[in-house]
Each structure stands twice: as C-alpha cells, then as structure tokens.
Structure 1
Amino acid sequence: MRNVSVADVSSYLAATGWVRQPEGWRGAAVWVHEGDHEILVPGADYLADGPRRLKETLSLLARVEGRSVEDIASDISSPMADVQWYRAPIVPMDGEFGLVDAVTALNSAHAALSAAARAALDGPRPVFDGTAPKAVRDLLARVWIGPIVPSADLLTVRIPLDGENSGDPPLARRTLTLLQRATLLLREASAEVRRTGDISVFDDTVRDGVSADLCVALARFAGTDPGTRFEVGFRWARALPSEVPARTVVFEAETGTLLRRVAHRLRRLHRESASVTGLIGTLFDNGGEDRFRVHVRGEVAIGDGEPRGSIWVRLPDEAAYDVAVEAHRNRTLVRAAGTLKDVNGRRELIATSFHTVVDDRSEES
C-alpha cells in the first residue's frame, strides 16, 4: 500500500469503469461505479486521512472486483506492467505453496514466457534449442511474482513494459500477446482432438507461436492428475492499452496429458524438418505423377543434423513451380521449408512454403 499514489488510484479507476464526478467533497475527488458505489480519492498524497481513504478504496474495489486487496494494490501501483496468472492444482492455495509444486509452477511460468518471448523475437519454431537470446533473458530478469495472499488461489506473473528498448510495441507486450493467442489455439485444437482424435491439428499452430517448450510448460500446470483442469489469464497494463482483448483461457480435463503428446510430436517434426536457401540448378516436371521438383544448391538446414549443400525440393503446386521456373531463369535465390521424406531412396524436402528471396548474392552468382 505504501507504493500506491493518488495519481495511480485515479488512473486505475478511470481504466476500470469508474467515472469521476464534476463536484468534489472537501478536496477529495468523487468517483462512482454504475451508480451503486462511490469512492473518495484524496486530492494529494500524504494527507492526514490518506491511509484511511486508501484502505477504504482498496476494500471497496476488492468487493466490486472479487479479487484480493493485495492483488488490486499491486495492479494500481504498476500501471506499466502486463499481468499473466494461473489457476491450477500446483499454484498457491490459502496462501501456501508446497515446495515441489512451487518449484514446478515457477519453472513452468518461466518456461512458458521464455518460449513465447523467443517466438516473438526470432519467429516461431516447433522447438527452441540452446540458450535464449540476451533480450529474452533481460525480459525474464524483470518479471516478478505475486502477491501471494491467503485469500487467493492464483499464481500471478507481472511483466514490466518499461525499461526495454526492443521495439514498438515492446518485446514484453509482443510476448504476452503471442502467448495469449497460442493458448487460445491450443484450447481450440484440444477440443478438435476430442471430437476427431486427429492430433495433427496441432501442427498448424506452430506458426502462431506454439512450441514443444510451451506445451510442456503448460502441461505441468495440470499437476500429476491428467484429469485436472487449469486456467491461464491475461490483463494488459493500463498505461499501454492493447487492442487485443484480455482473456481467460480454460483448459479442460486431461489437456495436460494431451499437451505432453503434442510436445513429443512437435519434437519429432522438428527432427524431420528442413529448409534450404539457394539457387535452383535443375527443374523437373514429367507431367505425370512425378511433378514439380527442383534441385536447390545453397544453405540446407535439416532438423538437428549437420547442414548440407543441396537437396531436391518437391513443390506444393503448379503456381510454386512457375515461381521456380522464373527464379531459375533469372538466377534468383529461393527459400523452401517443409519436412523430409524418403522418395525412391532419395531424401527430399516436401515444401510447405516456397518463395523467392531478395538478396544481393543472386546478382553475384
């Protein structure tokens, strides 16, 4: 409470639906909420009745919002922090944390943010290997947990938006926006699997930031019981509003087990994935079943394996083949990405994406 200022209280009330009245009362501002509640905010900090007014304000807000006084006070005093929270079997209950659960929950919250931040910074991938970039490590170093209070059953994670120079919007906001979208897609895909049994629906979620790392982190919040549901919530800093609505994502029973299966699948896809950037040396289309293939020489990356210098690429359709013909004629660099497949004893890249690349090297070649 010592960190809560009059200005912060006023900005919080304005952002949460309270309306300031034209007339004050003995120097205090009068705020009303839907005509049923009234709050008096002192005209300045450190007035004699300031602490009493502040306690009254926080108590009323706690009743109106159904949240703890401590949680609301933290929100008021941190206008430039986005908030993520978890309600799950392994988070605090009645203000207490089991040691194993505490370690698991904090590590999982850290892993989920790290996976989302790496996807927001460097682009989505099915698996993130190696040490996180410095910008991600710096972001995680500024995150804090809490408050943990007896009246709440949440693990609250606060991500400051200030103190970084990593773009507009800042990396912290891009991270949490991506994480919210990824959790929504995971929930939708989980519901689809329950209807159809087809786990491959998760494959397309990778381009939106889903990774094996994120799936494992979220799965841990289900606890040791695979049938336990859990929730992930998001709120945006009031000093930096977002056009993306804040959401609460509820994962139904047995989602934890499913997400572990998805993580295993994404790791396998990662091992079987490949991409190539280079020049087309050979075009092949026999007009029959063996169509739309090109041989590309350049920089080939194959999953976790050693790089190669060339590979046959099977293009997705005739339109992509037309692009390849033009690129071959003009000596233009191309990039293809997809999965590996053995075809007639030869390792080929089955492209899911294919496009030309603007690069000065094409002229030099």
Structure 2
Amino acid sequence: MVDTEPDFGPNEIRSYLQVNGWTPVDGGPLAELWSLPGLSDEVVLVPLKPGAPDFAKRVHILLNDLARVETQGVRTVHDAIATVYNDVTDLRAAHPSMSDGSIPLEAGYELFVSAKRLRVASAAATIRRQGHFRNFPPRAREQAREVRLGQTRRGSYIVPIISQARSPIEVYSPGQSNIDADIEEILFDRRVTATMSRALGVLEELATGDREPTPSEINDSVGEGVSYELCQALAKVVNTDSVGTLDVSFNWSRVAAAPSGAPQRVEFNHEAIETVDIVARQLKTRTYARQHLIYGVVTDLSRQPDDDDGRVGVRTLLQRRSRIVWMHLPPPVYRVAVRCHDEGIPVRVQGVLTSPPGGHAFMDVSDFGPDPSLPLSEAPG
C-alpha cells in the first residue's frame, strides 16, 4: 500500500478513470461514484476535496480498489495516475552484472548526466536544427531544470524522465488569433520529447544498418533532430565498461495522443555506438545550414487570385514573447495553412528566421505543416 500523501488531485484521478473506461454515475461537491461498464458491481469513490482531512485516506482506498480490479500493484496505479498528464521517458542501462538491480557508481553517474544531456540536446534541436551546437540556446539549457526525474526502478537500472504533456484539443480552436505563453511552455515539453524520440529512432536506424551511413544520410538526420551532442550523450553511457546496452522507452501521456511516427522504444549496444561515434565525428567536423523552428497558430491569410504565393502570419513565441512571423507560401502549401487556420490545427514551420528588434519577423520557409508532435486527440484532459 502507498502510505505517503498522494501527489495528484481529483482531475488526475478523473482523467485516469476516463481513459481506462470508467464513467461517472453519481456525485456531489465532495465525492463522485464511478463505475466500469461490464462490471456492474465495480464502483469506486473519488474524493473531490484535496484539503479535506480524509482525502488521503479515501485516495488510498481508491488505489487499492483500482489495483484489485486492474490486477496491478498499488504503486503502479498510483504512479499511472500521478503521471497521467505527463510523458515518461525511461532510460534503462543493462548488463549481465546488474542482475541484482544495482549499478556501478561510474555507470550510474553517466546515466544521470546523460539524461540531462539527451534532454538539452533534444530541446536545442526543437528550437533549431543544427549538426553541432557548441553553445546551446538558453531555452534548451532551461529544460534540464524544468523536467523531473522519477524514482529509479528495478529492471537492470531504470531512470525515468518526467515531462509535461497536454492534448492540443484543449488549447487550440479554429481561427484562434492568440496563444497562451503558459500553455506554450507545457507544449514545448511535449515537442522536446517528440524530437528526442524521432532523433533517437533515426539514429538507431543508422546505427543498426548493414553498412556505414553515408554523408547524405547523416546530413538528413540533422533535419530529424540528430546532433553531435545527442550522439555524445548516448556514447558516454554505453562506453562505460559496466553497461552493455542502453534502451530508451517513451511512455506517452494517456490524455495526449502519441506523436505520429515516433518510436516507442530504441536500443543501443556497443556495436551500435561504434556507428554513433562515426555520425558524431562527421557532425562535429562538417558545417551544416542552421534552420530555425517555430510553433504556433495561423492567424493571417492573404492571397489574391493572380498572386503566385500567399502571405501567411503565424503567431508564435520568440524569446518567450508573442509575435507574428510572416512568410510567403506557394499555392499547395498555402492551402495547408488555410486548413490549419480553419480547423485550429497547430503548425510547425522550419526555415531561416529574420527577427530584427522592433521590426517585423520574417521566415524563409523550407517546411510548413501541422505540428507532428501534437496530433489532435479526442482523449480527455
């Protein structure tokens, strides 16, 4: 049984129950009754007042009821409710010598440090695509201070990285002209996790192929978020003598649909890291064009019948300030912008950004489309 105070509230409990098929059947301001269709005798009570003297007691009873119905451990149910609004990325170091669930000090140190390095490198690639950063954007460095680490778990040795996630259906609407900076900060966390997942997936493909990756393939991987710093973060862990493999699992929030095309799990062993080192060396020594990424909503559309291109304005955050970035898009891409505007779909735009102080921000666009890290979802929030 979980004896500590619950680190979640009624909203997390309701969301967890809803995504697991439970429905509310009765209730008032103090508590609600929820039932599971198909099991007419199974009804649980959800306390609604976190400040009530018996709130923790009622939550403990609820956890035990759910653990019994779902045939899971109480701690498992507790953690699932506590992270229902979060993405959880598990870093797992494995080696035959770790059969007792412990890890050598050096390997453990590198695993924790690499958790930070992976996150910062992914945050940097979420802001701009660059083969070798040398100096990370300040916003990327802040990521390591904003995400949390969960309790380490057995299973060789697992370190969970906990980051925020929300369904965009809660925050975007058709024709929306403004964005909320606080909400964008939450969505940035999900975008970083999606970047990490895709970048590691591409790197795994390069590292497990039957030949050495070509310069062209390595160059293309930068567009997916691969960087020298990301490669180094992996190599630092796997190159320790006591670690045989490092696998990374992405457990996406149940209330925000998983990003399309993002792998759920990737794995790197010593042989794969040899290829990762090859990729890292090329990324460090070659010069790559820097491409910025912005995220936001389409707010302005202008195109006359005889115009070659359409003029589009995207409301986004630049230096954490709400700004409109202007761009010209050819007819097929302009039609995508119109659809995203009319349906309230968030967009991701990649290109060369010009943002003079006090002047209009403009982007020379190389890629425009719906934000792939935030697929619209009907999951509850």
Range into which the TM-score falls when normalised by the shorter chain: 0.5 to 0.7
Alignment of 1:1-365 (within 5 A): 1-15=5-19, 17-20=20-23, 22=25, 29-32=33-36, 38=42, 40-45=44-49, 46=54, 50-57=58-65, 59-60=67-68, 63-64=71-72, 69-70=74-75, 72-89=77-94, 96-121=102-127, 123-130=128-135, 132-150=136-154, 153-160=157-164, 165=182, 167=184, 170-192=187-209, 195-200=210-215, 201-224=217-240, 228-244=244-260, 247-251=263-267, 253=269, 254-270=271-287, 273=288
Distance 1:263 1:169, change over 3 A: same
Percentage of matched positions with identical amino acids: 21
User: 1:252 deviation in Å?
Assistant: 5.1
User: 1:185 deviation in Å?
Assistant: 1.1
Distance 1:115 1:37, change over 3 A: farther
Deviations 1:10-47 (A, max 9, x none): 211222x33326479xx763443886995624344535
User: 1:50 deviation in Å?
Assistant: 1.2
Q: Determine the C-alpha separation between the residues in 1 that align with 2:39 and 2:87.
A: 29
- Which stretch of the first structure deviates more once superposed, 132-141 or 171-180? 132-141
Q: Determine the C-alpha separation between the residues in 2 that align with 1:164 and 1:153.
A: 37
Q: Secondary structure at the match of 1:88?
A: strand
Distance 1:118 1:52, change over 3 A: closer
| Aligned equivalent of 2:335 | none
CA contact (8 A) 1:231 1:248 kept: no
Q: Which amino acid aligns with 1:129?
A: R
Q: Determine the C-alpha separation between the residues in 1 that align with 2:93 and 2:87.
A: 20
CA contact (8 A) 1:126 1:206 kept: yes
Q: Secondary structure at the match of 2:231?
A: helix
Aligned length: 268
Distance 1:221 1:243, change over 3 A: same
Gaps of 5+ in 2: 167-179, 291-350, 353-362, 366-381
Q: Secondary structure at the match of 2:110?
A: helix
User: 1:251 deviation in Å?
Assistant: 2.0
Distance 1:214 1:243, change over 3 A: closer
CA contact (8 A) 1:95 1:151 kept: yes
Deviations 1:284-335 (A, max 9, x none): xxxxxxxxxxxxxxxxxxxxxxxxxxxxxxxxxxxxxxxxxxxxxxxxxxx9
Q: Determine the C-alpha separation between the residues in 2 that align with 1:92 and 1:62.
A: 30
Q: Secondary structure at the match of 1:187?
A: helix
User: 1:181 deviation in Å?
Assistant: 0.9
Task: Determine which structure has more spread, i.e. the larger CA radius of gyration.
Answer: 1
User: 1:73 deviation in Å?
Assistant: 2.5
CA contact (8 A) 1:145 1:156 kept: yes
User: 1:183 deviation in Å?
Assistant: 1.2
After TM superposition, the score normalised by the length of structure 2 is: 0.58
Deviations 1:203-231 (A, max 9, x none): 31011110011011123343535993332
Q: Secondary structure at the match of 1:196?
A: coil
Distance 1:145 1:44, change over 3 A: same
